[in-house]
Structure 1
């Protein structure tokens, strides 16, 4: 059965790390972690306030968790025993299936069922985090958790089904490439910014949530093209008045999106989400994914190229052709400016999620009103 006492002492996590990490003490307040693969040394403060990750994220009553538990036999029926015909995709921690759920108040509801790999420690950690986060925090631009199953050591999450899939497929699938109008793209980005503003500033008076894996593959789209931020398995809770919200010695996230300052120092802040979102903004503007691609026979990430082009006043050379044609000049200029600000090297120079939301709403308003 699922254990809801999720707090793990940070030092114990380091000592149990299976990557071969070695601890090196530097006085009373700093410590280096040397990680063999890849080998690097990260120095961080050890006297920062500890976070109560479980208390802040716990649902208000145990009954809420009971109400979310779905029997395994119901999920098997829902997915036709995890049939290949119901298979949608395979992710880093397991497989996702489409299903039709009939259970309690849900009658013939279309759902997405994520069945995590029970053999993976990280999958177990992701499962626990996802249940705590999504059972407590709801927002119109965050994916809804319908229920979960932990029967017989299973780790299954059941979500609302986002019929238009993930944003990345509109950038990577040549048969669907850039079928989205600019005003719809703006609407999607406004939705993600709204979700981040909620997580960073509105979940509670004394704490915030950092997603840690903002990317186009984790932005789902419902029937009305509303953005639904998903995959909270890497998320962390931090104190609202704490500059360095959470300390991680082995940065997590996705290459091409991860904040270089977080990756280099090991210090996680809400501005790390801002950086990742900036990459997404450039993805949708340029019509290509953030992953490594060839440029003049060199392998680069999109954010490197976008920053160079923006600085040199050459951004139009990489903006998607269709967007250049159909977008209002002022709308596109405002959008590209806020995207670039998100990628600033230092956290202090990056805009807040609230500021991004204001600017993107203005870009959408300009586009709709055509100036």
Structure 2
């Protein structure tokens, strides 16, 4: 029996339309596989217009996922932001449950580009700023009357459009919370992806908006280091404790993506931008939630790092040379009369 929540009736899409749009869920149209099922691309006729779509088809073989399905529909139906995926509708018919969103991932997910040598520092910063704005909207926007704790922030749920603008997705486990209670613990089992989980969850037995902050901090370091948050069978399989150790020991340049510290690379990074960025990212990983900043502050600091990168004019005398990285790693910049943008 089909279950339809009246509030979302206007978003219903007939199954036959989705089948036609995806060419009967053809394997050639598969663009992803997630915890709930496969994602298909397609073209859907909607209000007289042919639009490109992504269709997440719930995996019927393993059952479950119904709560997550309705959570995602509920969240996306209320959320409108340029850095969040846009819902087109859903199908709840003939034992099929499908969420249809606009096709936002022409360049795939961020996860696929972490080590991409062609993804410049300014492009990486632009992605960070976009995600920060999306999270600020979730955590702080008063227009909805409630906040949203995403709980699934990782480099796989950050999609990249044709202009490398980020589109946040993956709202299947998100929680609505009163804006004045976003810092208060919501009792919960550990939710999220290994490598991004807030270490405070086990101690507090729940999550807060600061759990998103921690996960975002991990993403920021993934972007800086060009590697994933968790690498199975690697000596340093978890990125978070690795970057904390290097940041505190002033050896962070040792693990930065090689192309970002290559003085001959077009990706060359300015030290002032790096310092602003890394300090912000590190603050997100504070073990005590009370010491982690809020998203509005994080977005502001990342914007400043982005502007510093845009204003950086590489010249032979201020190339990020191995020497300067050595100086930076020792924390000795303040002892040298070097003017850096």
Same fold (TM over 0.5): yes
Aligned-residue RMSD, C-alpha: 1.7
1:20 corresponds to? none
1:224–1:121 CA distance, 2 compared to 1 (3 A)? same
2:178 corresponds to? 239
Distance 1:267 1:225 in 2: 34
Contact 1:137/1:203 (CA < 8 Å) preserved in 2?
no
Question: Please, which of 74, 99, 103 is the counterpart of residue 157 of structure 1?
Answer: 99
Distance 1:349 1:247 in 2: 20
Question: Please, which of 298, 318, 339 is the counterpart of residue 255 of structure 2?
Answer: 318
Instruction: Tell me whether 1:306 sits opposite 2:243 in the alignment.
Output: yes
Contact 1:94/1:115 (CA < 8 Å) preserved in 2?
yes
Question: Please, which of 130, 143, 167 is the counterpart of residue 85 of structure 2?
Answer: 143
Instruction: Tell me whether 1:255 sits opposite 2:198 in the alignment.
Output: no
Tell me the number of residue pairs that the alignment of Structure 1 and Structure 2 aligns.
Answer: 305
Distance 1:289 1:81 in 2: 34
- Report how far residue 135 of structure 1 moved: 0.6
TM-score (norm 1): 0.79
Distance 1:245 1:145 in 2: 29
Where is the strand percentage greater, Structure 1 or Structure 2?
Answer: 1
Question: Please, which of 278, 287, 298 is the counterpart of residue 217 of structure 2?
Answer: 278
Distance 1:206 1:156 in 2: 28
Question: Please, which of 276, 280, 291 is the counterpart of residue 230 of structure 2?
Answer: 291
5+ residue gaps, structure 1: 5-60
Distance 2:306 2:207 in 1: 31
Alignment of 1:345-360 (within 5 A): 345-360=287-302
Instruction: Tell me whether 1:93 sits opposite 2:94 in the alignment.
Output: no
Instruction: Tell me whether 1:214 sits opposite 2:126 in the alignment.
Output: no
- Report how far residue 246 of structure 1 moved: 1.8
1:264–1:178 CA distance, 2 compared to 1 (3 A)? farther
Distance 1:329 1:259 in 2: 29
Distance 1:293 1:287 in 2: 16
2:205 corresponds to? 266
1:28 corresponds to? none
Per-residue displacement from partner, 1:41-99 (whole Å, max 9, x unpaired)?
xxxxxxxxxxxxxxxxxxxx84xx33321110011111100011111121111001110
1:103 corresponds to? 46
Partner of 1:300, secondary structure, is: coil
Partner of 1:126, secondary structure, is: helix
TM-score (norm 2): 0.85
Distance 2:144 2:164 in 1: 31
1:369 corresponds to? 311
1:2 corresponds to? 3
1:332–1:76 CA distance, 2 compared to 1 (3 A)? same
Partner of 1:272, secondary structure, is: helix
- Report how far residue 315 of structure 1 moved: 0.2
Between 1:178-187 and 1:286-295, the stretch displaced more is 286-295
1:80 corresponds to? 23
1:201–1:274 CA distance, 2 compared to 1 (3 A)? same
1:204–1:266 CA distance, 2 compared to 1 (3 A)? farther
Contact 2:56/2:100 (CA < 8 Å) preserved in 1?
yes
Contact 1:146/1:160 (CA < 8 Å) preserved in 2?
yes
2:327 corresponds to? none
- Report how far residue 205 of structure 1 moved: 6.7
Question: Please, which of 50, 56, 59 is the counterpart of residue 117 of structure 1?
Answer: 59
5+ residue gaps, structure 2: 263-267, 313-340
